[in-house]
Structure 1
Amino acid sequence: MIRIEPRTAPSRAITLGLPVFSALVALGLAAIPLIFAGANIAVAYSEMFRGVFGSVFAFTEMLTRATPLIFTGLAAALAFRARLWNIGAEGQLYLGAMAAVAVGAGLFDWPAVVLIPTIIVCGCAAGAAGMVASTTLKTRFGADEVVTTLLFNFIILILLQYMLEGPLQDPMGLGWPQSAPILDQGMLPQLIDRMRVHAGLIIALICAAVAQFMLVYTVWGFKLRAVGENAAAARHAGINVNRTMMSVAIVSGGLAGMAGVSEVIGLKGYLTADLSPGFGYTGIVVAMLAGLSPVGVVISALFIASVFVGADSMSRAMGVSSYLADLVVAMSLLCVLIGGFFARFKVTRIHAAKGKSA
């Protein structure tokens, strides 16, 4: 017989090493379908590595892909720390993107120093509003936020289609469902000439640093962690649990909205229905792989972005399906969940006592 017992506390080595080990195991398991596809494993992973670090362009493409993942990863990590399960970052991302277009495509013809902050604030507010709606349903009526945030994603996508074929549609777009372009002064500056990496990356890194500081060194962070550990105990200690959850919802939704803003005013310059290839959902994997640590989110987002960009390069070079990236990401999450279980619990074997004969 076996018995599952909780560990006293996982060591720091286990906590830090688990994500790295999970990523390595996922890459190892991904070799199995590569073998069945007839690919040379060494060459395949070499092409993947070259596709990320083989040139300045490749490296900046990885940073560009990582930027929205940092925002959505932070959105999920902070919410999950408070046991507020935000599965709606994808929809909140599009709310932020729609707000960015509504403000930045000609509503205000202001200079960049005023227009860009205005777009960012409006985009974050729109994303926050999406999460606040679900959190209000949870705190007032006891609705499950997993269900409401997930369903809001589909509602927002329908709203997006309506807006792109109606109020936000580009009048010069010949009927194509896309928004009017952002004004030139509303676009974020590029970090490197002729490369797509933009100042949204700097904003994402600043957000991660601020989130880490707030989580560890402020009263707000203490309340967030207390509610996440035990909401009943936190309430007994005098913490307003509903107010704390609402504040976390505002921050989480705002970060997800910022992901949409950065993609619109930093990269695309306009909004289409395929702006996000699933950044909101991938942000959950980023957060889990990071152990819900804001600093870890940056590292995790860089890894996930490297997998996606490297897999695309490997696919072009070797004719292997680029869906391998999705496989690695999914297996990374699975390995983290399994590893996290064994980090919190230990399995012991119980020897049954032998009965004495009369």
Structure 2
Amino acid sequence: MRLEKRSHSSPAALVLAPLGAVVFTLIVSSLLVLWAGAPVAQTYGLLLKGAFGSVFAWSETLTRAIPLILTGLAATVAFKARLFNIGAEGQLYAGALAAVAVGGMHGGTGIEWSPWVLFPLMMLAAALAGALLLLGPALMKARLGVDEVVTTLLFNFIVLLLVGAMLDGVMKDPLGMGWPQSVALQPDLELGKLVERTRVHTGLLWAVTLAVGLWALLKYTVLGFDIRAVGANARAAAFAGVPVTRTVVLVAMLSGALAGLAGAIEVAGRTSYVTLDMSPGYGYSGIVIAMLAGLHPLGVLAASVFVAGVLVGADSMSRAVGVPTYIADVIVAASLLSVLVATLLTQYRVRR
């Protein structure tokens, strides 16, 4: 058996491939639901109802989707240039820490800062923190050929240890009753609510705007062409005159900045302070979302809502029918593998 590249992929195959992947995912997950002794139809119905069955359910799903969109965009732009950024989790925490450092620890300077000045500075600090964290691995890859998968992954652990030290040290909230959390942001720096009496905030507008902006950058700008060229074949791109090292550095700065903004927006929109459990793996989930979206920035929006809906819906479903919430992780993982295989089969056919 061998794989033979297709001369072209039909539009019908491109449409049916993700649908087939979804069906396959539901079948695989159904076997686990049956194994747990629960009715499949009721389980899926409760999962959908818990994620999208009411205004409150939608608000919780969209709130969970906001950081997923930003980390998904961070992975998308990096993977487009074959820069495999596995460090979005650390970059998210670095951005959150920088946001609190600017927005919560600026007292004692003798200067009364206006929120109109402090808020942009807070977001800029978060973006720079995430960008600089990825800049080192990108330069090591471009200049020395060091595998960025290893370096970015290890940086996650370094950043989390740094965050732990800061939360137990200079950034510890004196009003936190000993709990390891940072000082809180000023109330004037927190993001407003999109829907009253829910947790969904205006960070959703930030995430959607950045997704559209990244799509336009990749499709209509010279930098976007350079990113796609480097991702397709770096040696050929260099031969054609594309500045490969500069492109990789710019991609790293952009990817890290998006992940850093995810941390800042999560702090300003939801938590108001930094804790070690602030992110339940948003940085790693962003990689799954980027792959589910086919590395398309607008597809990241739909993939993020899907993953967030599965995670949110699994909580209410588990309480009703007794199926463990880990079924959500199985659905997300199986959907990723299914989409990858389906995409492969649209480009290749199996030959004997």
Find runs of 4+ consecutive structure 1 residues off by over 6 angstroms.
none
TM superposition shift of 1:16: 4.5
Distance 1:24 1:168, change over 3 A: farther
- Is structure 2 residue 255 aligned with structure 1 residue 252? yes
Secondary structure of residue in 1 paired with 2:229: helix
- Is structure 2 residue 36 aligned with structure 1 residue 37? yes
Give 1:67-106 correspondences, 5 Å limit: 67-106=66-105
Mapped partners of 1:212, 1:339: distance in 2: 23
TM superposition shift of 1:17: 4.1
1:112 corresponds in structure 2 to 115
8 Å CA contact retained: 1:64, 1:198:
yes
8 Å CA contact retained: 1:182, 1:265:
yes
1:65 corresponds in structure 2 to 64
8 Å CA contact retained: 1:82, 1:228:
yes
1:210 corresponds in structure 2 to 213
Correspondent of 2:195 among 148, 167, 192 = 192
TM superposition shift of 1:200: 0.7
- Is structure 2 residue 126 aligned with structure 1 residue 123? yes
1:352 corresponds in structure 2 to none
1:323 corresponds in structure 2 to 326
Count of equivalent residues: 348
1:310 corresponds in structure 2 to 313
Distance 1:12 1:148, change over 3 A: farther
Mapped partners of 1:125, 1:9: distance in 2: 42
- Is structure 2 residue 159 aligned with structure 1 residue 156? yes
Letter of the 2:177 counterpart: L
2:18 corresponds in structure 1 to 19
Q: Return 5+ residue gaps in structure 2 as ranges.
A: none
Mapped partners of 1:20, 1:279: distance in 2: 25
1:353 corresponds in structure 2 to none
Secondary structure of residue in 2 paired with 1:213: helix
TM superposition shift of 1:84: 0.5
Mapped partners of 1:283, 1:247: distance in 2: 20
Distance 1:117 1:21, change over 3 A: farther
Mapped partners of 1:35, 1:212: distance in 2: 41
Mapped partners of 2:14, 2:116: distance in 1: 42
TM superposition shift of 1:26: 1.4
Letter of the 1:104 counterpart: G
Distance 1:217 1:266, change over 3 A: same
1:356 corresponds in structure 2 to none
TM superposition shift of 1:115: 2.0
TM superposition shift of 1:316: 1.6
Secondary structure of residue in 2 paired with 1:181: coil
- Is structure 2 residue 299 aligned with structure 1 residue 300? no
Percent identical pairs in the alignment equals 51
TM superposition shift of 1:188: 0.8
Letter of the 2:159 counterpart: I
Mapped partners of 1:110, 1:101: distance in 2: 15
The alignment's C-alpha RMSD in Å is 1.3
- Is structure 2 residue 4 aligned with structure 1 residue 5? yes
8 Å CA contact retained: 1:35, 1:41:
yes
TM superposition shift of 1:139: 1.2
Task: Answer with 205-214 or 128-137: which moved more.
Answer: 128-137
TM superposition shift of 1:140: 1.8
Mapped partners of 2:19, 2:73: distance in 1: 19
Encode CA deviations 1:136-191: one digit per residue, 9 max, x unaligned: 11112110001111111111111111111112111222322100111101111111
Q: Return 5+ residue gaps in structure 1 as ranges.
A: 350-358
Q: TM-score, normalised by structure 2?
A: 0.96
Give 1:162-241 correspondences, 5 Å limit: 162-241=165-244
- Is structure 2 residue 135 aligned with structure 1 residue 132? yes
Bigger Cα Rg: 1
Encode CA deviations 1:204-261: one digit per residue, 9 max, x unaligned: 0000000010111111110000011111110001011010011010110011111111
Correspondent of 1:344 among 332, 343, 347 = 347
Distance 1:16 1:162, change over 3 A: farther
